Structure 1
Amino acid sequence: MPLIMRTMLKVLRVPNTTILITVLAFILGCATVAYAIEPSTFRTWFNALYWVMTTMATVGYGDFYAKTWIGKAFSLFIYVFGIGLLSLIIGKIIDSISTIYKHWEAGKMHFHGKDHIIIINWSKKAQYAIDEILSYSPASHIVILDESDKHPIVDRQEIHFISGDPSTEEALDKAMIKQARAVIIFADTRIDEPALADGKTLLIASSIERLHPDIHTTVEITQDKNIPNFRHAKVNEFVLSHDAVSRLAVRSALQQGGSEIIHQLISREVGDDIYEVPVRAEWKTYRDAFQGILERGATLLSDRGDLGINRKLNDPIPAAARLYVVADEATYRLLKSQA
């Protein structure tokens, strides 16, 4: 028994390429020998190859079979060694698939794609963000980059996970940062001190800016006093962790029903939403855009962050304008298709 175990362990350590070449050589060699032994039975070399494969796979259709005692003895040889070799290669394939899945689950595999969204630092808020992204665009590719060692959403095969330090070039390269469309950095919930959490977020944002200056970056900040530092790092947008919740609670208390409106505007799954629409050639002023959008059942909200454009309707629309409207999805698609 020890001899058999040692032999099996040696075989399992043989490189996959060597095993594959050995099995192919065995199959082709057996087909050649079988055809040489009984050419009248198989008629062509391909038929002999077909018989060898069905014999090794234990299928045995019976349309071809050895008729001489030499052919039958050779069949026994294939039974003993061929089935074992085929089982070995099938086991290797299953083992390789299992290894690939384990590496995927542990975040060790590179992401291959482009125009994806990278979510950095896993938390409940990151999960909500992913749900919101997929509700808006189900075909979006998402990459989670976190220092944990296990995929946080193993039942979502379309979401890739990379384990590593998000501030390092190695981890960001695995996430294909240079081909990504946007990055969202959440505060690390494993850090209790707000200043340290913001410091880590700033370090990550700086690394991203160095590798891909043109990418759109959104970060979560725990202390508003650190906003100037993030502006210096050229972060596109930032969200204060506790600020939005506190302000929403106050408005709900002082202006009842206001929270419901805000909830609809920030959720893709409830009510109307905020969409960016392209500027049409016939819109010369904000008034033209306001009336054109209103006729189609939507409301002009802002030009970028300027919410006061409805008080300057006679102003011309600048070339760099980005108009946002409040509408349902059907109206938004209509506005987009007519641009």
Structure 2
Amino acid sequence: MRKSGKLRFKGEGHYVIIGWSNKAQHSMNEIKEMDDKAKILLIDTLPESPVDHERFYYINGDVTDKTILERANIQQAKAVLIFTSDNEFDPITADGKSLITVSAIENYAIEKDKDIYTIVEVLKEKHVPNFKHANVDELVISGEALSNLMAKTAIHKESSRLIINLLSRKSGVDLWKVKKREIWKTYNDALEDLKNLGANLISDGTDFNLLSKLEEPIPDEAELYVICNKETYLQIPET
């Protein structure tokens, strides 16, 4: 029954993947590499689970059905990743399905009075405004992101290697989000402390201009990102 996706998931803090594809499988592998205790749950209509792993769970059914979301315990998930299928090439159809899916999840979140973190793959950038009322946390533009990367590589030769190596776990380093420490009053405090630990502070959210504001105070709501290996990340104190 577990293999056919008929059981109810009773855990929490899991990652939910909506729609199985090569991209979804790759994301699953990356999550497992970054978090070796991660529990991953797939919702799809496949006849049986595509993965046989003790921390991989499968729910068979229509994701817009509230009973399926309940069986996946989606309100207790750490994040929900919504992918388009490998054989869907029409961006209008693909993004339309994703919009319906995330709308169903967000409506369920409102009903349960829970904040469900959703990440959605979008094929066309011009469709992004259509998602603004769906309360999506993050949108990833897949096809056009590749086009932008190829354009930048054409101008700045071999620049794609830098980005691809950062995205790949094979490089030995990764992008990590860290909490602001009490001893960090300015961005320079954080920069120097992290540098001594072996981590490179690169941004506050999407703001990459930290070198021009080193003496400015770090706001309490800052979202600091660093580049380092996993061992270094685990050594960064949280307080």
Q: Deviations over 1:163-182 (max 9, x none)?
A: 11112111111111111111
- Equivalent residues in 2 for 1:284-295 (5 A)? 284-295=185-196
**How many positions carry a matched residue from both structures?**
235
| Unpaired segments ≥5 residues, structure 2 | none
Structure 1 match to 2:159: 258
Structure 1 match to 2:20: 122
Could you tell me which amino acid in structure 2 is paired with residue 141 of structure 1? K
Secondary structure, counterpart of 1:262 in structure 2: helix
Q: Distance in 1 between matches of 2:82 and 2:179?
A: 28
Structure 1 match to 2:221: 320
Q: Distance in 2 between matches of 1:257 and 1:329?
A: 26
Q: Distance in 2 between matches of 1:158 and 1:105?
A: 12
- Equivalent residues in 2 for 1:74-223 (5 A)? 103-153=1-51, 155-212=52-109, 213-223=114-124
Q: Distance in 2 between matches of 1:336 and 1:149?
A: 45
Could you tell me which amino acid in structure 1 is paired with residue 215 of structure 2? N
Q: Distance in 2 between matches of 1:104 and 1:282?
A: 48
Contact map agreement 1:135 1:269 (CA 8 A) in 2: no
Contact map agreement 1:283 1:289 (CA 8 A) in 2: yes
Structure of higher CA gyration radius? 1
Secondary structure, counterpart of 1:315 in structure 2: coil
| Unpaired segments ≥5 residues, structure 1 | 1-102
Could you tell me which amino acid in structure 2 is paired with residue 227 of structure 1? V
Residue 190 of structure 1: how far off its partner (Å): 4.5
Secondary structure, counterpart of 2:106 in structure 1: helix
Which residue of the other structure, out of 208, 226, 233, is the alignment partner of 2:127?
226
Contact map agreement 1:277 1:336 (CA 8 A) in 2: no
Q: Distance in 1 between matches of 2:87 and 2:3?
A: 21
Q: Distance in 1 between matches of 2:170 and 2:106?
A: 32
Q: Deviations over 1:32-85 (max 9, x none)?
A: xxxxxxxxxxxxxxxxxxxxxxxxxxxxxxxxxxxxxxxxxxxxxxxxxxxxxx
Q: Distance in 1 between matches of 2:6 and 2:102?
A: 22
Q: Percent identity?
A: 38
- Equivalent residues in 2 for 1:15-34 (5 A)? none
Contact map agreement 2:34 2:230 (CA 8 A) in 1: no
The reply to whether residue 279 of structure 1 matches residue 180 of structure 2 is yes
Secondary structure, counterpart of 2:236 in structure 1: helix
Q: Deviations over 1:211-245 (max 9, x none)?
A: 22511110000111110121221111111121221
* Structure 1 ranges of 4+ moved more than 6 A: none
Residue 267 of structure 1: how far off its partner (Å): 2.2
Q: Deviations over 1:78-137 (max 9, x none)?
A: xxxxxxxxxxxxxxxxxxxxxxxxx22221111120000000001011110110011111
Q: What is the TM-score with the length of structure 1 in the denominator?
A: 0.66
Relative to its length, the structure with more helix (as a share) is 1
Q: Which structure's relative contact order is higher, taking Cα pairs within 8 Å and 6+ residues apart?
A: 2
Q: Distance in 1 between matches of 2:63 and 2:137?
A: 18
Q: Distance in 1 between matches of 2:185 and 2:143?
A: 40
Q: Distance in 1 between matches of 2:88 and 2:23?
A: 15
- CA-based RMSD: 1.6
Q: Distance in 2 between matches of 1:309 and 1:231?
A: 28
Q: What is the TM-score with the length of structure 2 in the denominator?
A: 0.92
Structure 2 match to 1:306: 207
